Structure 1
Amino acid sequence: MPVDLSLYLVTDSTPAILKGRDLCTVVEDALKGGVTVVQYRDKKSDTGDLISTAKKLHQVTQRYGVPLLINDRVDVALAVGVEGVHLGQDDMTFELAKKLLPKDAIIGISTSSIEEARKAVADGADYIGIGTMFATPTKTNTKSVIGTAGTQAILDAISDSSIGTVSIGGINHANVQRVLYQSKSPKKGLDGVAIVSAIVAADDPKASAEEFANLIKSTPVFALDSKVAGANKPETLVAEVPQIVRKLVEAHPLVHNMINFVVSNFVANVALSIGASPIMSPYGDEAKDLCKFNGALLINMGTLTSESIPNYEKAIKAYNTRGNPVVLDPVGAAATEIRRNAVSRLMSGGYFDLIKGNEGEIRQVWGSNAVQQRGVDSGPSTLTDSQKAALARDLARRERNLVLMTGAIDYLSDGERVFAVENGHPYLGQVTGHLRLFLGLPYSDKLLAVLSGLLMYEIAAENAAAKDYVRGPGSFVPAFLDELYAIRTAAAKGDDSWIAGRAKVHEVKI
């Protein structure tokens, strides 16, 4: 039986969630708001009470033409005559449930791994619940939290199947669009999301369901836009760079920096030199006001404290909600267990338009083959150039964003295209606080925007290093700021000579 899984409600009868309200009333309000499937889940009540409540719920769902499924209890489903059941890995087997239930009964299966999903497909399940997406207090027997990356891997593994898919676990209004967007594999996406407390515990279940329904139907404002024509050719991209730099100078965008204390002054001066307007604020509550200026947020993990992550999360939420660009610089991500955990938490807490880091940091964000860092340096490279390009592409593809891996050669990817940029100077590796925030400009190709900032930055570095008086990092920094300002001034006058014949960009075929 075809089922609309888009807004799947899972009930919770605990007093703290229901707040003294009648479950049937809450469910009906949610149905009025747009819920498309209801699963009755109650692990504690006696069989007689389960049947009684299920009958009342079924009367409600039938009025709205929405299927009612019973969690685990096939006997209750049979007694009430509902449309189907949802089974966990430790519940009755699919084969036995199939024998007991009517031929057209809906049977869903909980899965948290590729193996479980493939078995559910082979068995003939109507849909699978994939999770747990995020940590949640509503389930204490969670085997694993798989996030969008784990969900995407499962969807990719069963992409040849037409089975329905729904994600569950910690999904709310703030993250539902990101869940749907980032979980999508190249060939298969989620058909819906399962919501528990965000609707059942809401003061107004109808309004909460309506908001979910609208978010589910809408494209997230932070989604990568379609590529511009001809943008796979380096020369086409580079030809657009001067115009983008001029736009930056004209726009004078705000850059909100939650930054390493060591580099605050340098980053502020770089921003001013290129025509941006910097503000340094580690206070997450300020983001709700700062994001209204339509600027970008940079999170640099260089100086972590016990208060850093909660403040980062508040800022990410504010900027994600408006669709403003958010950049993560996971400084020293592999240096300590605290930093590794911080990366995991941030990656599950919001969407980053750009993740920028050296090889060690990008490998840590990817989550495998990580290297031990001593500090902010990448450590010895163990990857070939083609492997670096592939890692940048694969991380960008998984997160559905942009990834910039810095080094002697920089690799920039949006998950489809990969470009190597060979501009710059070794002094840049000894100067922290790189700023490449052109993402807020109104161009359809975000990769092109980042490439523009990268070229402006690295050509300025080449110019600075060539000065007779520059003898090392100390004298390089003021010369570098001067050269950034010189490019900005030239761009404002329509002078593009700063880039003519200078860009060293080529596409990497993998």
Structure 2
Amino acid sequence: MVVDYSLYLVTDSTKAILKDGHLPSIVKAAIEGGVTIVQYRDKTSDTADLIKNAKELHAITKQYGVPLLINDRVDVAIASGVEGVHIGQDDMDLATARNLLGKDAIIGVTAQSEEEALRAAGGDADYLGLGTVFATPTKENTKSIVGCAGVRSMLSALSVNNHKIKTVCIGGINASNVQRVLYQTGSSDGPSLDGVAVVSAIIAASDPKESAQELKSLITSPAPFATSSSKKTDITTESVPEAVKKLGEVSPLCHNMTNLVVQNFAANVAICIGASPIMSNNGLEARDLAKLGGSLVVNMGTVTPEGVSNYLLAVTAYNAAGGPVVFDPVGAGATQQRRDAVKTLMAEGYFDLIKGNEGEIKTVAGMRGEQQKGVDSGASTLSMEEKSDIVRSLAHRERNVVLMTGKVDILSDGQRIVFIENGHEYLANITGSGCTLGTTISAFMAVNKDDKMLAALAGILMYEIAAEVAARRDDVRGPGTFVPVFLDELYAIRENTQKGDHTWLKAARTRSGG
């Protein structure tokens, strides 16, 4: 039997989710909206009612040629004549379930770790339910929240061990995150999910058919922020002048959510490079701003609970519009509040580029025991090879671009990696230089979406070479005189590039890694 797992509905009969809805009617409407497989899950009804309800639901699903599975209860599946069961790690073992149901039954198994996934795949399961992806009210005893990264690690383990088994993910999936989940759990050259399982997104919806139609449409469409799956060519500086020129011609909106100390400097930098800045920490404005084709910078310099809520509103809006989002997790490892904020933001939104110093990137990557002192990176504890591995693996995990700043900047999209040795020590002695580098990169990404890593490289080189040129000028005597001259040199690079003068780029000191 060929089974389509793309939109998998798991029912819920609890009052909190079902409310006063009629489950058979909801299931029928959901199938008409695009649901391809249904699991009847009911943890409270007695056996007689479970069988009665299963038969009623099966009469509907058979009419549409959609398989019906029973959660946990093999006896109910046999009595009601449905197509199979889904069992958890604490339910009947897979071998026994297969022996009772026969070789033609569909049997799915929940997996929350690589070990569980491999064991089930090797034990004759038909598909795996991977998760829980996000926190969800439908399960009180969730063992662990694995996130997109956890799902992807399980998919990779299955692929490495040559298990060709169908997979769906479950846990908090809805219309606002389904495309991001499918994008971040997949890869351009590796395994991907066969579908997503949803519960409340359909069961609790006011119009289950419409909700299923929306989810189906999102599942079959690429995420607005997705880049081409084709392998990018080796990155060089040859395309940088064109990127600089395009930025000046388009003048994209550059939406900064940053601290008050930096806002004026960031706005001036954006104007000098050719972007159009707006400084707004109000997440309610983001839906309108995201429609203007620009980019967003989320700078966590002065993080507060209210600020995190506003960040999430803005990131959601820009993700939906396909506008690039740059995340600057300032001081990510300094306090528990900042670590929690990073975890929340990473779970709820997609960031096209994550920029930070060594300590910040280590925190985002999930390295335990990383403690920052304030917003500074502190003394490096890693070799260049170790730093490169962290940057590349984080970019691969998040399917985005990662920049670790330092004496040598490390930039990677998970496949390619570039080391940049430009910049000047004055940048470390003025307020907001790291924040405004994020502003610069986001502006370049707004007009160079096809290759976000190249966009980031262009922004870094323009920014850091301008700093070098400014620091050499006779009228610069220190950080105080450096800032206005730095702005002048950013503007000069923009103007000279528009005229076809690319000599400034000869100062670039970059090398590609293996």
Decide which of 503, 507, 513 is 1:508's aligned counterpart.
Answer: 513
Displacement of 1:165: 0.7
Query: d(CA) in 2 for partners of 1:302 and 1:124?
Result: 51
In the other structure, the counterpart of 2:399 is 400
Q: Which secondary structure does the structure 1 equivalent of 2:381 belong to?
A: coil
Task: Give the percent of matched residue pairs that are identical in Structure 1 and Structure 2.
Answer: 59
The amino acid across from 1:449 in the alignment is A
Q: What letter is aligned with 1:162?
A: K
How big is each residue's C-alpha offset from its partner over 1:137-162, in whole Å with a ceiling of 9 and x where there is no partner?
Answer: 01111000010011111111111211
Which residue in the other structure is 1:480 paired with?
Answer: 486
Distance 1:426 1:124 in 2: 60
Matched to 1:198, the amino acid is A
SS at match of 1:279: strand
Q: Which residue of 2 aligns with 1:184?
A: 186
Partner residue in 2 for 1:174: 176
Deviation at 1:289, TM superposition (A): 0.8
* TM-superposition CA deviations, 1:85-124 (whole Å, max 9, x none): 0001111111111111132111111111111111101111
SS at 1:238 equivalent: coil
1:311-330 Cα deviation digits (max 9, x unpaired): 10000110000110011000
**Structure 1 position 62 matched with structure 2 position 62:** yes
| One of 216, 238, 241 as aligned partner of 1:213 | 216
- Distance in 1, matches of 2:146 and 2:22, equals 33
Indicate whether 1:281 and 2:280 are aligned. Answer: yes
Number of the residue aligned with 1:224: 227
Following the alignment from structure 2 to structure 1, what is the Cα–Cα distance between the partners of residues 348 and 478? Answer: 40
Paired with 1:167 and 1:228, the residues of 2 have a C-alpha distance of 26
Matched positions, count: 504
CA distance in 2, matches of 1:163, 1:251: 47
Alpha-carbon deviations, 1:314-365, whole Å to 9, x = none?
A: 0011000011001100000000010001001000111000001011111100
- The answer (yes or no) to whether the contact 1:397–1:414 under 8 Å persists in 2 is yes
In the alignment, the residues of structure 2 paired with residue 354 and residue 370 of structure 1 have an alpha-carbon distance, to the nearest angstrom, of 24
- Alpha-carbon distance in 1 for matches of 2:242, 2:27: 54
2: CA distance, partners of 1:228 / 1:369: 33
Q: Give the C-alpha shift of residue 369 in structure 1.
A: 4.5
Q: Which SS does the other structure have where 1:285 is aligned? A: helix
Q: Deviations over 1:230-275 (max 9, x none)?
A: x31x5xx211111110110011111111102221111111111111
Contact 2:227 2:449 in 1 (8 A): no
SS at match of 1:109: strand
Change (3 A) 1:29 1:227: closer
Do residues 342 (structure 1) and 346 (structure 2) align? no
Q: Distance in 2 between matches of 1:360 and 1:422?
A: 19
Distance 1:304 1:281 in 2: 14
**1:417 partner letter:** R
Secondary structure of 1:320 counterpart: helix
Give SS of 1:307's match.
helix
Relative to 1, partners in 2 of residues 1:90 and 1:8: Cα closer, same or farther, differing over 3 Å? same
429 and 227 in structure 1: CA distance in 2 versus 1, 3 angstrom threshold: farther
Alignment counterpart, residue 201 of structure 1, candidates 200, 204, 214: 204
1:443 Cα deviation after fit:
5.0
8 A contact 1:74–1:85 mirrored in 2: yes
Partner of 2:109: 109
Letter in 2 for 1:344: K
Which AA in structure 1 matches 2:465? I
Counterpart of 1:412 in 2: which secondary structure?
Answer: strand
Counterpart of 1:335 in 2: which secondary structure?
Answer: coil
Scaled by the length of structure 1, what TM-score is found? 0.97
Q: Is 1:441 matched with 2:440? A: no
**Regions of 4+ moved over 3 Å:** 226-229
1:227–1:498 distance in 2 versus 1, CA, 3 Å: farther
Q: Distance in 1 between matches of 2:171 and 2:321?
A: 24
In the aligned structure 1, how far is the partner of 2:388 from the partner of 2:259? 27
- Normalised by the length of structure 2, the TM-score is 0.96
Give me the whole-angstrom Cα distance separating, in 2, the residues matched to 1:346 and 1:360.
18
Partner of 2:476: 470
Is this contact kept in 1: 2:421–2:509, CA < 8 A?
Answer: yes
Q: Which amino acid aligns with 2:370?
A: V
Change (3 A) 1:2 1:228: closer
Seen in structure 2, the aligned counterparts of structure 1 residues 340 and 443 have a Cα distance that, compared at 3 Å, is closer
Which secondary structure state, in structure 2, belongs to the residue aligned with residue 219 of structure 1?
coil
For 1:328, what is the secondary structure of its paired residue?
strand
- Structure 1 unaligned blocks of 5 or more: none
Distance 2:212 2:330 in 1: 39
Task: Specify the alignment match of 1:410 in structure 2.
Answer: 409
Aligned counterparts, 1:48-447, within 5 A:
48-159=48-159, 160-184=162-186, 186-226=189-229, 231-232=233-234, 234=235, 237-431=236-430, 432=432, 433=435, 434=437, 435=439, 436-437=441-442, 438-442=444-448, 444-447=450-453
1:498 to 476, 494, 504: 504
Quote the offset at 1:477 in angstroms. 1.2
Q: Say if 2:466 and 2:493, in contact at 8 Å, map to a contact too.
A: yes
- Output the CA distance in 1 between the equivalents of 2:138 and 2:256: 35
Gap runs ≥5 in structure 2: none
Counterpart amino acid of residue 307 in structure 1: E
Deviates more, 1:261-270 or 1:178-187: 178-187
CA distance in structure 2 between the partners assigned to 1:244 and 1:103 by the alignment: 58
Deviations 1:436-486 (A, max 9, x none): 221111452211111111110011000011112323222221111111111
Per-residue Cα deviation, 1:266-323 (whole angstroms, up to 9, x for no partner): 1111111111111111110100111111110000000012201111000011000011
* Letter aligned with residue 505 of structure 1: T
Separation of aligned partners in 1, 2:10 and 2:35: 10
Q: Distance in 1 between matches of 2:11 and 2:294?
A: 40
For the aligned residue pairs, the C-alpha RMSD in angstroms reads 1.3
CA drift at 1:491: 2.0
SS at match of 2:355: strand
Matched, 1:451 2:457: yes
- Opposite residue 468 of structure 2, the aligned amino acid is E
Contact 1:226–1:444 (Cα < 8 Å) also in 2: no
Task: Tell me, in whole angstroms, the C-alpha distance in 2 between the residues paired with 1:443 and 1:331.
Answer: 25
Paired with 2:208 and 2:5, the residues of 1 have a C-alpha distance of 18
